[in-house]
């Protein structure tokens, strides 16, 4: 483990995203109707993401346990796109996790683990009706705090600027 004992505790924020793509119309139909045999996919995935963020140091070797002060997992239903070449022909779920703490190390791994946990939960709950569920585009969108400074992924730049303009903060 890297020694972070000498580092000052500062406010840290990270936002990550990932997308679950479906290969047929059945999973999205069941999700929209809240009729999946395993239960409410959206709520279960949201809780799984929060739990995953809190357990990141148990999952990722050499990752520091940190005092997370806030985790938010948002799941957005993306409608099917006719003639889609990017895999969204049958719809998808976009998952975004935001994590905040005050500490000597960042929360990027917690945000990415939250997204991954939520995506895997959707997969598990939908695999009975769609064996070809795909989890793609998992990435860090934003991080703030620490010595290395801020990072904004190009796909998040406009939204980040809009949030800062409207509220003075990203998360």
Listing DSSP states for 12-81 in one string gives EEEEEEEEEE-SSSHHHHHHHTT--TT--HHHHHHHHHHHHHHTHHHHSTTPPP--EEEEEEEEEEEPP-
| Whether 124 is catalytic | yes
- pLDDT on residue 77: 96
- pLDDT on residue 4: 84
Average pLDDT, the chain: 93
- pLDDT on residue 22: 95
Residue 93: φ, ψ to 5°: -120, 125
Q: Which one from 124, 130, 150, 158 is the annotated catalytic residue?
A: 124
Residue 85: DSSP 8-state = S
**pTM for this model (two decimals):** 0.93
Q: Enumerate domains of the chain plus CATH numbers.
A: 10-167 (3.30.70.640)
Q: What is the per-residue pLDDT across 34-92, written as a single tens digit (0 to 9) for each? A: 999 999 999 999 999 999 999 999 999 999 999 999 999 999 999 988 766 666 789 99
């Amino acid at each position: 483990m890297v020694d972070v004992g000498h580092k000052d505790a500062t406010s840290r924020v990270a936002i990550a995203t990932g997308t679950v793509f479906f290969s047929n119309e059945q999973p999205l139909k069941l999700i929209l109707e809240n009729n999946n045999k395993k239960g409410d996919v959206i709520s279960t995935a949201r809780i799984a993401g929060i739990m995953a963020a809190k357990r990141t140091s148990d999952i990722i070797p050499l990752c520091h346990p940190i005092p997370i002060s806030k985790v938010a997992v948002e799941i957005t239903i993306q409608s099917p796109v006719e003639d889609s070449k990017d895999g969204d022909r049958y719809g998808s779920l976009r998952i975004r996790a935001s994590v905040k703490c005050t500490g000597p190390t960042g929360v990027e791994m917690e945000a990415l683990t939250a997204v991954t946990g939520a995506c895997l939960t959707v997969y598990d709950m939908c695999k009975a009706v769609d064996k070809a569920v795909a989890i793609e585009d998992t990435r860090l969108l934003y991080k703030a705090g620490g010595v290395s400074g801020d990072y904004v992924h190009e796909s998040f730049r406009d939204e980040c600027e809009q949030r800062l303009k409207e509220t003075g903060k990203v998360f």
